[in-house]
Amino acid sequence: MSANISSRGLSLPLRAQYRSNTKNDANISQCGVSIHPAGYAGPALGTSSVLADYVDGMADWDIACPDQAQALTLKAIPCTGPFLVIHYRTPLTSTWQFGSSSFSQPDCRHYATKLYTGVAVARSCGPVGVIGVHLRPETAACLLGERMQYFLNARVCLDDLFGASRVLLLEEMLAEARTSAERFACMERFLAANLRERHVNPVACRAAALMRQSPHLRVRDLAGRFDVSERHLLRSFQAMFGMGPKQFARIARIESAWSARGQGASWAHSAYAAGFTDQAHMINDFTEIVGVPPAQLVRSSGDTAIVASSLSRPQSGCQASDLIH
């Protein structure tokens, strides 16, 4: 496979490092994925040292058996960063749900999206092969452009972003790959080849990076850190991400609480770890953004996989300035 990849002009980066967890339910759970149909150990999870400033994590759902695939349901909740979704087998069908409301999402084989509210529920009618890439919001513009509001609760076709021929070649290579590690390598090369310099607002990007690490930070404190007015920060953030910093921080707290819960913490401890004043406050915010309380989302899942807002969290020691180039 490596020779085939090289012959297509995509050489393997020497610094690439991946981890793959297809048999360890504990590790899968820590990354926010839980409860899979019988006989399926869960997705392979990958990270890249080469694109660590841009990619939070990658997941590969590789289920060639139609019966196992059709028994799987994926649920995604709102997140601070956008996702890239690339199918290399039968595309999943998806619906968006918020409370009792729901509607079918448009069919799109490969797309970028950022769930802002509600729950996206995806199912398959055939063998599953899908790669999900979670991008860091503070640097996603280098791949998707400066206007994140275009992706809020929407699907933007990757053909429109990167070109149909490039995306088709990527799909073919993912389908030919034999392992998740090879697919992650393909994705890394594709993303690296499509990185572009963008004229983004550094204050908004650095504020987003800081709020992901510390969702409890107030807008006033953030503005003071960057020596700008609150009004300037609010305008810059809204223009960059399509939402204000307060809403972004609410979603970041949900990400943090869900991550803590996935690592075995109680709901009360998860709320405290995410900076909520109490568990009731966390449940209210979760319900307002996701459409259902967190416990109900878990109970209603049955034999489903719940995909957390983020496949991995930024290291606590990293500085926002290190993430913006």
pLDDT at res. 9:
37
φ/ψ of residue 266, rounded to 5: -70, 165
64: left (phi over 0), alpha (psi -120 to 50) or beta: alpha
**Residue 304 pLDDT level (bands cut at 50, 70, 90):** very low
Q: Exposure of 236 by Cβ count < 10 A (0-12 exposed, 13-18 middle, 19+ buried)? A: buried
Q: Exposure of 315 by Cβ count < 10 A (0-12 exposed, 13-18 middle, 19+ buried)? A: exposed
Tens digit of pLDDT for each residue in 244-269?
Answer: 999 999 999 999 888 888 888 888 99
- For the cut 60, the answer to whether the pLDDT of residue 35 exceeds it is no
- For the cut 50, the answer to whether the pLDDT of residue 33 exceeds it is no
- The residue among 149 and 176 whose pLDDT is bigger is 176
- For the cut 50, the answer to whether the pLDDT of residue 290 exceeds it is yes
Assess whether 273 and 186 both reside in one domain.
no
**Residue 170 pLDDT level (bands cut at 50, 70, 90):** very high
Tens digit of pLDDT for each residue in 71-89?
Answer: 888 889 999 999 999 999 9
Question: Please, are residues 75 and 119 in contact by the beta-carbon 8 Å criterion?
Answer: yes
How far apart are alpha carbons 185 and 192 in whole angstroms? 11
Please tell me whether residue 44 adopts helix, strand or coil conformation.
strand
For range 168-191, the mean pLDDT? 96
Q: What is the mean pLDDT of the chain?
A: 81
Q: Exposure of 232 by Cβ count < 10 A (0-12 exposed, 13-18 middle, 19+ buried)? A: middle
pLDDT at res. 41:
67
Assess whether 13 and 67 both reside in one domain.
yes
Tens digit of pLDDT for each residue in 120-165?
Answer: 999 988 999 999 999 999 999 999 998 888 999 999 999 999 999 9
Which of 292, 259, 295 shows the shortest CA–CA distance to 275?
259
Assess whether 84 and 216 both reside in one domain.
no
- For the cut 90, the answer to whether the pLDDT of residue 316 exceeds it is no
Assess whether 254 and 127 both reside in one domain.
no
pLDDT at res. 10:
34
Q: Which two tokens stand for residue 298?
A: 């878990």
Assess whether 87 and 222 both reside in one domain.
no
Tens digit of pLDDT for each residue in 189-237?
Answer: 999 999 998 888 999 999 999 999 888 888 999 999 999 999 999 999 9
CA 212 to chain centre: 13
Residue 183 is assigned to a structural domain of this protein: yes
The stretches of the chain forming alpha helices (DSSP H) are 2-7, 25-30, 66-70, 141-144, 158-162, 164-176, 180-193, 202-213, 219-225, 230-241, 245-262, 267-273, 279-290, 294-299, 320-323
pLDDT at res. 275:
87
Q: How many CB atoms lie within 10 A of CB 235?
A: 15
The CATH number covering residue 96 comes to 2.60.120.10
Tens digit of pLDDT for each residue in 94-126?
Answer: 999 998 898 988 888 999 999 999 999 999 889
Assess whether 26 and 116 both reside in one domain.
yes
Tens digit of pLDDT for each residue in 1-18?
Answer: 333 333 333 333 333 333
Residue 213 is assigned to a structural domain of this protein: yes
Residue 17 is assigned to a structural domain of this protein: yes
Assess whether 166 and 69 both reside in one domain.
yes
pLDDT at res. 252:
93
Assess whether 210 and 61 both reside in one domain.
no
The boundaries of the domain holding residue 269 are 202-290
The CATH number covering residue 261 comes to 1.10.10.60
207, 16, 19, 138: CA torsion to nearest 10: 10
How far apart are alpha carbons 30 and 269 in whole angstroms? 15
